[in-house]
Amino acid sequence: MTNEIVIRFVVNGQEMEGTAEPRMTLADYLRDKLGLTGTHLGCEHGVCGACTILFNGETVRSCLILAVQADGQVLQTVEGLEEPDGSLHPVQEAFSRHHALQCGFCTPGFLLTVVEFLEEGATTDEKAIRERLSGNLCRCTGYHNIVRAVQELAENQS
């Protein structure tokens, strides 16, 4: 017997309503109920950052949050980065330009982390960028190109 709870929230600018079991994670809800599979599940312990989304404008690990906690909140996933005309978001373009991805599994979490960083007034300082990105793990790139992409974005923002 399940006791699903009605939840209402905004995802990528669109108001939504659905039901979720009390113990379903937000990551599972986004992927399984909404089909937003850009939110990746890696460790499912909040360590790798692959499931990072924006929750009321702040990065969170969606594997550590219950879907019912999203009731009344505003969420943005990597799918929400797309520009209105269908083009890539500037952060996505910078990652592409600097070859800041390889397998792409960690990329959605990095992108949303960088979006938040830029909104807060990112710096071009490599140490500060590496510190900010330290919650997102990548096994492929060595981070150098990711850092260069963020430096370019921060420089252009000034």
Domain termination site, one of 81, 116, 139: 81
Q: Are residues 11 and 77 in the same domain?
A: yes
Q: Are residues 53 and 75 in the same domain?
A: yes
CA dihedral (26, 28, 81, 42) in degrees, to 10, reads 110
Residue 66: predicted pLDDT: 98
Question: Which residues does 36 contact at the CB level (< 8 Å), separation at least 6?
Answer: 11, 12, 30, 77, 79
Instruction: Give per-residue pLDDT as tens, 51-83.
Output: 999 999 999 999 999 999 999 999 999 999 999
Q: Are residues 59 and 103 in the same domain?
A: no
Residues of the chain with pLDDT below 70 are 1
Provide the domain count of the chain: 2
Structural domain harbouring 57: 5-81
CATH assignment at residue 141: 1.10.150.120
Residue 32: predicted pLDDT: 98
CATH assignment at residue 20: 3.10.20.30
Residue 33: predicted pLDDT: 97
Residue appearing with tokens 């252009």:
156
Q: Are residues 98 and 138 in the same domain?
A: yes
Q: Are residues 42 and 105 in the same domain?
A: no
Domain termination site, one of 81, 109, 140: 81
Q: Answer for the pair 150, 117: CB distance below 8 angstroms, yes or no.
A: yes
Q: Answer for the pair 129, 100: CB distance below 8 angstroms, yes or no.
A: no
